[in-house]
Structure 1
Amino acid sequence: MGIKSFQGKRAAPEKPQHVPMLVKDYMSTNLVTFMEHENIMDVAEKLIANKISGGCVVDENHKLIGLISEGDCMKQISDSRYYNMPMDDATVKKRMTCNVETIDGNMNIMDAAKLFIEKRFRRFPIVEYGKLVGQLSQSDVLRAASRLKANDWHP
């Protein structure tokens, strides 16, 4: 007669379920946005007040038309001081980046992280049906990564 175990039958170890981590789950939706007619100095003040480095430029229908950053504002201020030009007509339209690269809200957050590294961008707008719905920043990606288990990169 053989030795019997009193532990009972062992269940197979559970495989962790892979739950996709999507951009739309981590993007910011309460955005500070700008209009192209705004003065650069007003934009700079909003950036400082909201502790952000840039933001999306939208039209009256909330359609994305560009991005404006601290660097864009600094360039305008520097040029105005250097060339002794007034700042009254220094608008977002004259300094914003117009060819904006966007990402899909259904993209995996780790694929977005790779894009941040490749493109060296600080933010990616997310557009649905032509309208701005959110923005993903590098800190949003870091927040998502902090929820991952270091060993298997699954939530």
Structure 2
Amino acid sequence: MGIKSFQGKRDVHQEKESAQILVSDYMTTRLITFKAEDSLDHVIEKLIVHNISGGPVVNDENELIGIISETDCIKHISEGKYYNMPSDTNNTVGKHMVRDVDTIDKNMNIFDAAFKFISSRRRRFPVTESGKVIGQLSQKDVLKAALAVRGNTWK
């Protein structure tokens, strides 16, 4: 007589579907935002105080109109120093921000968002709903999601 398996009957539906991890699960909702009329000095101070590398620029209705980053501020500073020019009195966010901003949907899978980071070479994506900023996803947020998933599924 052969050896019988003591594992019991195998259930083909035993593996449960893993729930998708969405951008909305990891995006930052308490944002530091800027206005087009803010000075670059104000932006630089906020970036340093809050230890962030950039943020969305919004109008009075909280609609996304651009994004400002450390790189944008450094470009302004370096251009003035290179030409030995005094600081421009009209150094506003609106003059130096990037207006063509890629956004991301809150219902996108976090790993699809990771691919978007890689292909676009961006450090952050504003999350909008009906044109209004509701959050922001950074590369660091994707890393946090990867650690959470690894703790549950990766060996």
Q: Output the TM-score relative to the length of structure 2.
A: 0.88
Q: 2:130 — aligned with what?
A: 129
Relative to structure 1, the CA distance from residue 10 to residue 135 in structure 2 (aligned partners, 3 Å threshold; closer, same or farther) is: same
Mapped to 2, the partners of 1:68 and 1:17 lie a distance apart of 40
Mapped to 2, the partners of 1:8 and 1:16 lie a distance apart of 19
Mapped to 2, the partners of 1:73 and 1:35 lie a distance apart of 15
Relative to structure 1, the CA distance from residue 8 to residue 85 in structure 2 (aligned partners, 3 Å threshold; closer, same or farther) is: closer
1:54 aligns with 2:83: no
Mapped to 2, the partners of 1:87 and 1:137 lie a distance apart of 31
Q: 1:19 — aligned with what?
A: 19
Mapped to 1, the partners of 2:87 and 2:108 lie a distance apart of 44
Q: 1:88 — aligned with what?
A: 89
Higher mean C-alpha displacement, 45-54 vs 11-20: 11-20
* Same amino acid, percent of matched pairs: 46
- The superposition leaves residues 46-105 of structure 1 with CA deviations (integer Å, 9 ceiling, x where unpaired) of 000000000000001100000000011111112223331333210001110000010110
Give the superposition deviation at 1:152: 6.0
C-alpha RMSD of the superposition: 2.4
Given that 1:39 and 1:88 are in contact with CA atoms closer than 8 Å, whether structure 2 keeps it comes out as: no
Relative to structure 1, the CA distance from residue 89 to residue 4 in structure 2 (aligned partners, 3 Å threshold; closer, same or farther) is: closer
Mapped to 1, the partners of 2:74 and 2:38 lie a distance apart of 15
What are structure 2's unaligned runs of at least 5 residues? none
Q: 2:42 — aligned with what?
A: 42
What are structure 1's unaligned runs of at least 5 residues? none
- SS of the residue 1:68 aligns to: strand
- SS of the residue 1:139 aligns to: helix
Number of equivalences:
152
Give the superposition deviation at 1:3: 8.8
